[in-house]
Amino acid sequence: MKIKTGTILSTKRYNNIKYNEWKKHCDKLRNEGRYNELPSILNYLWDKDYGYVYKTDYGSVWRKTKRELIEIKNK
């Protein structure tokens, strides 16, 4: 599943989707024999188990409450 720009998800849901995306990317690189190019999981996930994530054009923003992200989204 691809996360669309402007979407707000719980951090757990976001991390689950991005983990699967990272795994798929790694599997593709392994199949091509490009082991030295495997991306770090840290570039995909937030290191928190709580809060919400807002997907932007260039990445994502984490906040503790959904209200904070809605305010960012509406600016």
Pick from 40, 39, 66, 36: nearest CA to 54: 66
Residue 31 counted as domain residue: yes
Q: Which domain holds residue 65?
A: 8-73
Residue 1 counted as domain residue: no
- What total number of domains does the chain contain? 1
Dihedral of alpha carbons 33, 37, 39, 40, sign: positive
Residue 3 counted as domain residue: no
The reported pTM is: 0.89
Residue 2 counted as domain residue: no
The one-digit pLDDT tens for each residue of the chain (75 residues) are 789 999 999 999 999 999 999 999 999 999 999 999 999 999 999 999 999 999 999 999 999 999 999 999 888
